[in-house]
Amino acid sequence: MTAKAAPETLKSTAALPKVTHAKGSYLWDATGKQYIDGSGGPAVYCLGHANTEVNDAITAQLSQIAHGYRYNFTTDALEDLTEILRAKTGMAEMVFVTGGSEAVESCLKIALQYQTAIGQKTRRRFISRQRSWHGNSLGALGVSGFAERTIAYEGAFIPSIKLSPANAYRPIAGATAATTAEACAAELEAAILAHGPETIAAFIFEPVVGAAGGCVPAPDGYAKRVREICTKYGVLMIADEVMCGAGRTGPWRALERDGAMPDIMSVAKGLAAGYLPLGAALCTAPIWTAIRDKDGAFGTGHTFTGHTAACAAGVAVQRIVEREHLLARVTANESLIKSGLADALHGVDAIGDIRGRGHFICAELVADQTTKRPFDASLKLFMKIRAQAMENGLICYPVGGNVDGVSGDIVILAPPYNATNAELAEIIDKTAKSIRQVLTAEGLA
């Protein structure tokens, strides 16, 4: 992939409309056109838009104090959200930041601080996977395997040791869908041994890969094997749940479904549902205790760490999610969305796989269902689908390069947790319509 080609996939295919207002699952632009939010923007708006209860909580906090600087004061909002997350995750301590990239960056720093605190300062390297996306800061870019988003910065960040994607639909060489989990776990262990366990600080992965792969869930048994291997060699296990966590895939912790507990995890998007920027890096009691006993506090933090109004938004969002039993709804809707999408796209030979968990579902397009060969990248089908969907009044999340960093077209749906059945049906119908229209226009139907 050339440096010149990469930015092309980041451009919009048309001038962007100007959004003026939104309510629930719908948004309107300056012309009065209505859009249904089929992806929660970039899998963020889990309660939809303009929720009165959340807005009132933010306004009430602003009327008192917008931001009590974390290193001078604690606040009710910060303390309440901390207790909510402890209860939801089983984690002991956390650092609140303003988004996913900062959350991942903080996770990496916590891992290094911990290894230093226990006398393992030789552990400076990270292991991650290809077809992963961890964020836009230089540390997060270094552990990401997403060529179109990293290529411009290569050479400036510290690269990680990259492993194969853990994707049952596209198994690692020599494996089948059934043996993918063990094969990918074995690759992790081999990498640790090849580079020396004493040099590895942590392994970071997305339990359900988001934009870089298209809602790819960890193969059955994979996360448990990763947990065993990391524990065996003193390598910390970091779960990046910025996109798939906070209930997006059903349970609050995405890895809960896999029966695995990480040492450190990141969350962001669904934490405050986009009402204010908020993310967090969390760690277990053993990690926190070692850091506290050696250093007294986390070494990572920012001006807006624990921003009071942002935490108030997070508290309001999480209370609504809990009170309205939305995670149970997300879990139950998984089969509805998958089957609805499969039915709406029935007979479309270009659909290779429909996968994901909860309200995090993806359709992958292929030129050949048998070989799983992707369409030529020059067609830019994902961009054309995005533009067609907007024309049809649908916001979805198409991405390219999911197969090898260059080729591959996916369409992600991540509707609000409280979207009605009628709204889910509209999202599914408009998604299928948009895909069919583009394939027909390209002579691929």
- pLDDT (tens digit per residue) in 82-95: 999 999 999 999 99
pLDDT on residue 9 = 46
Summarize pLDDT for 137-165 with one digit per residue, the tens: 999 999 999 988 999 999 999 899 999 99
pLDDT on residue 4 = 36
CA torsion sign for 324, 327, 333, 337 is positive
Question: pLDDT-derived band of residue 444, with 50, 70 and 90 as boundaries?
Answer: very high
Residue 272 in this model has a pLDDT that exceeds 50: yes
Tell me the mean pLDDT in the region 281-300. Answer: 97
pLDDT on residue 95 = 98
Beta strand pairing status for 19-23 and 34-37?
unpaired
Summarize pLDDT for 4-46 with one digit per residue, the tens: 343 444 455 568 999 999 999 999 999 999 999 999 999 999 9
pLDDT on residue 12 = 53
Contact indicator for 146, 131 with CB cutoff of 8 Å = yes
Summarize pLDDT for 406-423 with one digit per residue, the tens: 999 999 999 999 999 999
Percent residues over pLDDT 70 in the chain: 97
The length of the chain, given as a count of residues: 445
Tell me the mean pLDDT in the region 431-444. Answer: 98
pLDDT on residue 148 = 86
How many helices (H) and strands (E) the chain has is answered by: 13, 17
Summarize pLDDT for 314-372 with one digit per residue, the tens: 999 999 999 999 999 999 999 999 999 999 999 999 999 999 999 999 999 999 999 99
Tell me the mean pLDDT in the region 427-440. Answer: 98
Contact indicator for 396, 39 with CB cutoff of 8 Å = yes
CA distance 430 to 48: 18
Which candidate, 258, 301, 436, 278, places its Cα nearest to that of 363?
436
pLDDT on residue 6 = 39
CA distance 414 to 37: 9
Cα 360 to the center of its chain, rounded Å? 10
CA distance 281 to 94: 5
pLDDT on residue 304 = 95
Summarize pLDDT for 291-314 with one digit per residue, the tens: 999 999 999 999 999 999 999 999
User: Mean pLDDT over all residues of the chain?
Assistant: 96
Residue 243 in this model has a pLDDT that exceeds 70: yes
Two tokens at 304?
A: 């807006």
- Domains of the chain by range and CATH? 6-50+325-441 (3.90.1150.10), 52-323 (3.40.640.10)
The neighbouring-strand residues paired with 225 are: none
pLDDT on residue 418 = 98
Tell me the mean pLDDT in the region 45-66. Answer: 98
Tell me the mean pLDDT in the region 99-119. Answer: 98
Distances (CA, A) of 73 to 67, 77, 282, 306: 10, 12, 20, 10
Q: Which residue has the tokens 């002991």?
A: 92
Question: pLDDT-derived band of residue 73, with 50, 70 and 90 as boundaries?
Answer: very high
The two most distant CA atoms of the chain are separated, in Å, by 65
Contact indicator for 64, 77 with CB cutoff of 8 Å = no
For residue 63, give the 3-state DSSP assignment.
helix
Residues 6+ away with beta carbon under 8 Å from 126: 108, 111, 142, 143, 160, 161, 200, 201, 202, 203, 204
Q: Which amino acid is at 426?
A: E
CA distance 112 to 99: 20
Summarize pLDDT for 206-224 with one digit per residue, the tens: 999 999 999 999 999 999 9
Q: Where are the strands (E) in 106-209, listed by range?
A: 125-129, 161-163, 200-205, 208-209
Q: Give pTM, 2 decimals.
A: 0.95
pLDDT on residue 15 = 85
Residues 6+ away with beta carbon under 8 Å from 169: 177, 216, 352, 353, 355, 364, 372
pLDDT on residue 2 = 36
CA distance 18 to 71: 39
